[in-house]
Amino acid sequence: MSGEGGVLGPLVWLMRQVLEWSFDLLGSHGVSILVLNLVVNIALVPLYMLTDRWKRREQALRSKMQPEIDKIDAYYTGQERYYYIRAIHRRHGHSALGALRVSAGLLIQIPFFLAAYQLLDDYAPHLGASFGFLSNLGKPDGLLFDAHALPLVMTAANLATAAALGGVMSRSERIQAGAVALAFFIVLYDSPSGLVLYWTASNAFALARALFRLRRQEAAPDGAAAGRDLRAGPRSVATCLALAGLFPAVFFIGQNQLLVASSRDATIVVAGYVAAAATTYLVVWLATPRWLSTGEAALFAAIAFVVYAFSPTLVENEIYSSEKGGWLQNGVLYIGAVSLAYAGISRAVSRLRTASFALAGLAAVAGVQGILNMQSLLAEQYFVHDAIMQAKLERRPNIYFVLPDSYANVTTLKKLGINVSSFTKYLKNREFEVYDDYYASYSGTGRTMSSLFNMSHHYLRNARGHQELGGARDIVAGNNHFNAILRRNGYRSHFVQSGHYFLAGRACRWDSCWPGSAVPLLLRETLLPKFTESWFRAGGKFDEQVDEAIDRAATAGSPTFTYIHHMSRPGHTHNRGRCNHKREKKSYAQRIAKANKWMQDVIAKIIKKDPDAIVIIASDHGGYVTENCTILRRHAKSPMSVDDRVSALAAIRWRGDSGAFGKRIRTSATLMSVVIAYLAENPKMLEHLAEDSTFMRMGKDTYQVTEDGKPLWPNLRQLSKDDPHRREVVRMGAKKKKPGAKKP
């Protein structure tokens, strides 16, 4: 029954479009079913409201006629009774059509049920698709020892709705509701669980509507809430909740414009926040005592959600820091939330809207700076010589890129008192060349890896202050020169990362990516980061994905490039601007040891299953364990302050003699170009590499801190803001002379 012909054809087609659109957006068949159901029910809300109004009018009219009908019943029977009752109906304007309106709520659902049945009963994409405890949406669930549990849940929700409305339903209506529930149970019992899930969600929505109707009826004028004008109508409640979700969403978008990469992402964030605020209201409204009116419930839910959304203890994000400015910003937002509470409780609900707009304005002001700072790195053209871009690869082995985040180079670690000689010995015993003095080209993950994969420099040209470059994550997510070259030479590419850093809010342009769909990651990042962060950190699923990626590459029929990035092995400091250096160094050394163990495990698996592969180990930057334990907002005090941020581990297991190619491994900007030249067996490509330099933002300016892989300290070169190739030597660490001081 998957066709779209007949009378219901247009409706089936429309529902199919919604279902497919939501799956493309969210990447989950189960969630797309729920979204379809939500869209249908929202579209039907005006009809539900109309039928409820008809039903109330019919009940009021019947109540008005009932005393007269009771008198007729007491004295008359048969034909005479019929004529008298008919006269009463005529006098009060009651008709058979009015009686039919009572059942209109059920009747309007029939076309949508039939359309959903026609669409979902044999929907091919649902075969084999799982959702939660449902292993196959295209088949009955079979959860209860081959019996089906979901139809029971659906029927229970249906009967719960009838029970909730039992006090306002007539006996015939209760019988009708029970009969409908039984009929749906019989018809849908052996249906695919995707279809039953759809109708279970419909019943849940009906139950929520029934509870809402009862809750409104319970808010009687003589109740405890009558002394205050807080019995808000649906429009006021909706406005309050929309704004309660809107202003933290605006603030988040403003401060995280690099995560929210498009208007679609912004829409998802706003919708997610508003939906979360509405859910909070539903929970509060169902859980509060009878004396709490709809307006008070909306106000309480709005305040609770706003405090949650802005709380640094619950929403763990880069916009919240321990620096003075961060706490001041949070203080302003908390004061706004308290003002909202006072204005709402001590005034009428009509004032609530004004207070909500005021608080939304505070959030917008706090976020406007981030919105104005939005930049696009993709507009900057990375120059890579045609000889490299058009390379034809003579060697095509599998390639693994293993990235331990924030792992400084061997020389810097020695200066920090961290001994990794046993690990470097392990690497050399397995035919790795270790580059003790390798440098990342920049001091941040996005900055370094976008430069590495595009095999050129961006010179921090569009960076504003110390914020990450716009577009850098899109480049690493697959839109880069290195992947393009490999793809033209028959490679497939796979991306595995222990966190959501590069993929949240972005489309994956690798052949496969983990963690999965970008949109659920975006919502997780915005609403529940702290509670779910462990899902994508060390151990568990990530290690399993690494094993699967190695197995997939080792058994593939075509050459593969596999990127494996561990975000917390070793990982840099807390990055908040204050630190205890002794404690941080000790902690960093412990994390280095864990990173070494992790890399040894990964290397052993690769060599065992794919012994002829090239294995690249390269970090993105150093550990940030000196000075303020974060990015430098002022000039460096010592060469260690620079090396601690831009030196990086590098080691490569070439297949065969690396020769001149291995000698050119100095910085991340040229690393992948050298690999391409090696695979092409073309040493002349080494003449067309990007400059082997490292650049670092200190204060408001950008400085060149290495040249040809060698530190320039103390004579760093400050880049011109107009032309990054114009540079002025600035001596670091020189003490300023006091006025009038004499030479010794």
3-state secondary structure of 161: helix
Confidence (pLDDT) at 685: 94
pLDDT at 625 over 80: yes
Lowest mean pLDDT among 49-63, 417-431, 442-456, 718-732: 49-63
> 537: pLDDT confidence band, cut at 50, 70 and 90?
very low
Distances, alpha carbon 69 to alpha carbons 76, 82, 86, 92, 678, in Å: 10, 10, 10, 12, 98
Strands 399-404 and 614-618: what pairing? parallel
How far apart CA 19 and CA 194 sit, in angstroms, is 12
The one-letter amino acid code at 445 reads: T
705 with 711: CB under 8 angstroms? yes
Quick one: average pLDDT of 564-592?
A: 81
State residue 410 phi and psi, 5-degree precision: -60, -40
Residue 134: the pLDDT is 83
More confident residue, 573 or 136: 136
DSSP per residue over 642-663, as a string? HHHHHB--EEEE-SS--HHHHT
**What is the pTM (predicted TM-score) of this model?**
0.61
pLDDT in tens, 469-525: 667 888 888 889 999 999 999 999 999 998 777 876 666 789 888 875 445 555 555
> Percent of the chain scored above 90 by pLDDT?
28
Residue range 290-298: mean pLDDT, rounded: 63
Q: What is the mean pLDDT of residues 667-679?
A: 96
pLDDT score of 554: 94
Angle at CA 709, nearest 5°, toward 582 and 470?
75
Query: Tell me: the pLDDT tens digits for 208-258?
Result: 777 766 665 555 444 433 333 445 566 666 766 776 777 677 766 665 555
Can you give the three-state secondary structure of 530-570, one letter per residue?
HHHHHHHCCCCHHHHHHHHHHHHHHHCCCCEEEEEEECCCC
What is the pLDDT, as a whole number, of residue 286? 66
| SS3 labels along 123-157 | CHHHCCCCECCECCCCCCCCCECCECCHHHHHHHH
Measure the CA–CA gap between 247 and 364, rounded to whole angstroms.
7
Residue 143 has pLDDT above 70, yes or no: yes
d(CA 160, CA 207) in angstroms, rounded, equals 7
Phi, psi of 498 (to 5 degrees): -80, -5
Q: What is the pLDDT of residues 181-195, one digit of tens each?
A: 787 788 888 888 888
> Do residues 732 and 636 touch, judged by C-beta distance below 8 A?
yes
> pLDDT at position 467, please?
61
* Tokens linked to 290: 């009878």
Strands (E), 19-173: none
> Which pLDDT value is given to residue 292?
57
684 or 312, higher pLDDT: 684
pLDDT of residue 188: 82
Residue 199: both structure tokens together: 């109708």
Summarised one tens digit per residue, pLDDT across range 375-426 is 444 434 567 888 999 999 999 999 999 999 999 999 999 999 999 999 999 9
- pLDDT of 454 strictly over 80: yes
Q: Is the pLDDT of residue 68 over 70?
A: yes
Q: What is the DSSP string of 357-417?
A: HHHHHHHHHHHHHHHHT---GGGSPPP--HHHHT---S----EEEEEETT---HHHHHHTT
Give the neighbor-by-neighbor strand order of the sheet with 399-404.
Answer: 433-434, 650-653, 614-618, 399-404, 560-566, 492-497, 512-514
Angle of the 349-372 helix axis to the 234-255 helix axis, nearest 10 = 20
Taking each helix axis as running N to C, give the angle between helix 668-680 and helix 445-454, from 0 to 180 degrees, rounded to the nearest 10.
30
Amino acid at site 229: D
d(CA 677, CA 479): 21
Lowest mean pLDDT among 210-224, 349-363, 407-421, 528-542: 528-542
- Residue scoring higher pLDDT (104 or 502): 502
Contacting residues for 226 by C-beta, under 8 A, at least 6 apart = 220
- Six token digits for residue 71: 């008198």
Pick the range with the lowest mean pLDDT from 215-219, 291-295, 461-465, 617-621: 215-219
Neighbours of 644 (CB within 10 A): 27
Q: How far apart are the first and last CA of the chain?
A: 97
Q: Which long-range contacts (CB under 8 A, 24 or more apart) does 201-206 make?
A: 201/33, 201/34, 201/37, 201/38, 202/37, 202/40, 202/41, 202/109, 203/154, 203/157, 203/158, 203/161, 204/157, 205/37, 205/38, 205/41, 206/157, 206/158, 206/161
